[in-house]
Chain A
């Protein structure tokens, strides 16, 4: 977690977290009754003719439930991914603030939009160090704003020792390891990272789905060894000095089998790109952008374009190299990826 991270996180403020979502069901008496039964609420305002829904049900009407959430925007996933990659792999719901402008009644069909309202400075808490992310959801019925729902989570790097306080003593008394994650580090799925895997591993003990691995053999092992050491190595023909990528045991320009390597300085531009939508693959969360990066040295490489919304990637965008670790069920995978060059993000 460096200072630069906060600036990158701040860039997500004001971006959508969900767009044009709709409630799975209209406001309805059965769900109201189930809620009142569960909470023991016998308020007569919630039954009979003219009944209103308990105002505190506001969020329940926009939950995706088992059928999943819709309208979820990429920016929110990207923000959470950035935090994951910075080691803030745990998440805890901390605050819920709701304002009710008018009661909801059976038959009301709710629609909602969620924006990323703010990302805090780095904070050190009992649980660990991380960032508070606040989203605000506007709930509407037929274009009329009926309520707002502000939700705050803490994305944090868990401490290696148990957080102090009663929660840890509860775990200790139940005989559980005191180094486990905080017990309530779960948030309703609307606010949880999309379960692409990395997050699940952080939250629980489940392993992330496997990213396809590089195909390594004797001809290209040197490249991937370089990547593990955070060096992007390009082959150079010692016969004619032509640089080449991908790695091959001979030069296409002159046929010479002799070569050495040069280390790319990491600057490049997007030569072309694709936004993947379908079909989905377990380790990837569509839509996502893949770039064909032309390095300053002149060779091209396929890679991911990171730290920029998928719909902002453009041909000609200046990018710079970064090595990232992707941990999954097969262990650690280091990949060379490219982020927009500082100060040159395309509009």
Chain B
């Protein structure tokens, strides 16, 4: 995909296998083992073996190197290995990397994975107190001495401006996103919040974390692993699962982009980097918002779900709270990261695949076209995944 011209990646590769560990607060095992378990599960789902794999992609933040995962999974030689930066912004981009490798013939079967003990080990939510004086560390360093130290607080700064600009309350704006996620999670046995739906009143009564964000605006932190198997569409058609075709894949960074601290540009009411992704995905897929059957929008915090809906053109700026409250798009049907698990967005890609296979716990009848996004507030990525033939 390109910012300026339509690319030739669409329709070349497909996700053919998905696999995950259980999602928990304390996995009791190493991050490497979680990675290996999820990769093996995804390969089994795809009807492939470790010996078939010649490419691996993960996040720069992942602690399990490709070569070590390959060793522990019983894989042989690798011809492609790659990592994507910017935290959860990498999620959909790992699939883009895999699709690029497959389309170019650099690799035949590429597994994308992300595994961590993000709850029992190093918790992102516990905040940052120190950074190296690298360019990246320095960028965050402008906020640290003043006590702006947590992901929730970085999101809250933009969320406050969103509320102010559109004259909304946190309860009315963010409540519907939280309630929708928990409603879906309630029927998902794999979800951390299985059988635990919430009401708007529950949301409004939950305690402040970083005003205007409450506890129920924040995803719960998770231990677990998630893997996805990507191969060519041609090979996919010979495998047991219906392929989820990568119809469009894109990364995006905006002008004056930062990681979580893009405070110094624009009006703070949108996600310009997601606009970059959206423009590419619509052009590459030939689809429009009305064509999308299911949206899986990255939801580590509720406010950015609203901004994504607006950046993708599902509704006008400031109208997303009503859009969500009215259930106008099946959204985060696995329960999202708010309800199922915080797997850095990779579990959302798996949910889109399930929808296309017809196996979601909140199945949208006949779902053929899905939109998936990756981390918000950071340089990010997105996918349009479709059933084979759905965009012909």
Contacts and interface: CB of A to CB of B under 8 A. Distances in A.
B138 interface: yes
A279 B150 contact: yes
Chain B: interface size category: 35 or more
Interface stretch (A15-23, A150-158, A254-262, A287-295): A287-295
B129 interface: yes
Contacts of A292: 157, 263, 268
Contacts of B129: 212, 281
Nearest to A301: B142
A272 B164 contact: yes
Contacts of A290: 143, 146-148, 153, 157
Given A271-B161, A275-B210, A277-B211, A302 B141 contact: no
A215 B209 contact: no
A245 interface: yes
A304 interface: yes
Contacts of B131: 215
Given A217-B134, A287-B208, A274 B125 contact: no
A105 B65 CA distance: 68
Given A302-B146, A303-B146, A304-B146, A274 B141 contact: no
Contacts of B264: 245-246, 299-300
B146 A219 contact: no
Interface string A175-201: 000000000000000000000000000
A217 B135 CA distance: 8
Contacts of B261: 302
B159 to A, nearest CB: 9
Contacts of A337: 146
Interface string A318-339: 0000000000000001010100
B209 A278 contact: yes
B141 A276 contact: no
Contacts of B145: 211-214, 333, 335
A284 interface: yes
Nearest to B264: A300
A272 B162 CA distance: 9
B153 A276 contact: yes
A284 B210 CA distance: 14
Contacts of B210: 274-278
Contacts of B160: 272-274, 315
Contacts of B255: 252
B137 interface: yes
Interface residues of A, number: 38
B198 interface: no
B128 to A, nearest CB: 8
Interface string B285-320: 000000000000000000000000000000000000
Given A215-B140, A217-B133, A299-B264, A274 B156 contact: yes
Contacts of B147: 211-212, 276, 281, 283-284, 288, 290, 304
Nearest to B153: A274
Contacts of A302: 142-143, 146, 148, 261, 263
B207 interface: yes
Contacts of B150: 276, 279
A327 B176 CA distance: 44
Contacts of A300: 263-264
B165 to A, nearest CB: 9
A211 B261 CA distance: 19
B179 to A, nearest CB: 22
A220 interface: yes
Contacts of B101: none
B302 to A, nearest CB: 15
A210 B92 CA distance: 39
A296 interface: no
A215 B141 contact: yes
A216 interface: yes
Contacts of B157: 272-274, 290, 292
A142 B128 CA distance: 45
A216 B209 contact: no
Interface in A121-178: none
B127 interface: yes
Interface in B93-149: 125-135, 137-149
A317 B45 CA distance: 57
B130 A212 contact: yes
Given A273-B160, A283-B147, A219 B138 contact: yes
A274 B153 CA distance: 7
Contacts of B205: none
A300 B142 CA distance: 11
Nearest to B139: A246
A245 B130 CA distance: 21
Contacts of A276: 147-148, 150, 153, 210-211
B133 to A, nearest CB: 4
Nearest to B140: A215
A272 B161 contact: yes
Nearest to A244: B264
B256 interface: yes
Given A219-B138, A252-B256, 19 more contacts: A211-B147, A214-B141, A214-B145, A215-B131, A216-B133, A217-B134, A220-B138, A271-B268, A274-B160, A281-B149, A283-B147, A287-B208, A287-B211, A288-B147, A290-B148, A292-B157, A300-B263, A315-B161, A337-B146
A-B complex: 7 closest residue pairs judged by Cβ atoms: A215-B141, A275-B211, A212-B144, A217-B133, A277-B208, A272-B161, A284-B147
14 contacts: A212-B129, A215-B141, A216-B138, A217-B133, A246-B142, A277-B207, A277-B210, A278-B209, A290-B143, A290-B147, A292-B268, A301-B142, A302-B142, A337-B146
Interface of B: 125-135, 137-150, 153, 156-158, 160-161, 164, 207-211, 255-256, 261, 263-264, 268
